[in-house]
Amino acid sequence: MSKPQPTTAVRPTKKQHQLLEFIATFIEQKGYSPSYREIMKGLNYTSVATVALHVNNLISRGHLAKRDHSARSLEVVKTVIEAAPIVPKQLNVAQEKWLVKKVDIFFKEAEKSTGLSERDLDPLYVLTGALKVLGLDGAASSFISRLTELKKKVKDGIYAV
């Protein structure tokens, strides 16, 4: 059998992943693929039909290859799992301005505070990270420099609690 080429596939479920691991380990140890009955016993399935169902799903998803009408012809296909691209929620200009103003208010309150601790800075880190996730890198960068300054002051004891 020729080596199956790596394909792009949908991520396997937990049970499917266990089945793939079992088949790959079996082939590695014995040099040939397991029968459906061996898979059934090895994974404590109750019927060969359950094995066939899982194997067929893995074949259709691109994780397994099988020669037609051949015994012990299963082969694990190296797959490239496509991660769903993360698309930040798009904000309009008015929403961006509003959000940056709100974050700025939190920073101004922290900068005016006389008793800050490291823990008080955590919400500011979260807000700055949220700006980055939303694609507002410029605003996030300006807040990061302010956050760094606040952290330095807290560390130096300027903001004594």
Q: What's the rounded Cα separation, in Å, for the pair 9 and 138?
A: 36
| Span 27-33, average pLDDT | 88
Q: What is the pLDDT of residues 59-109, one digit of tens each?
A: 888 888 887 777 787 888 876 555 556 565 677 888 889 999 999 999 998
Q: Is the pLDDT of residue 24 over 70?
A: yes
pLDDT average, residue stretch 132-150: 88
DSSP string, 53-117: HHHHHHHHTTSEEE-TT-TT-EEEPPEEEPPPPP-PPP--HHHHHHHHHHHHHHHHHHHH-S---
Domain with CATH 1.10.10.10 in the chain: 7-81
Specify the pTM: 0.45
* 44-53 residue pLDDT tens: 999 999 888 8
Mean pLDDT score of the chain:
81
Contacts of 63 (CB under 8 A, 6+ apart): 9, 12, 16, 20, 76, 77, 79
**Class of the 7-81 domain?**
mainly alpha
Contact 100, 136 (CB under 8 A): yes
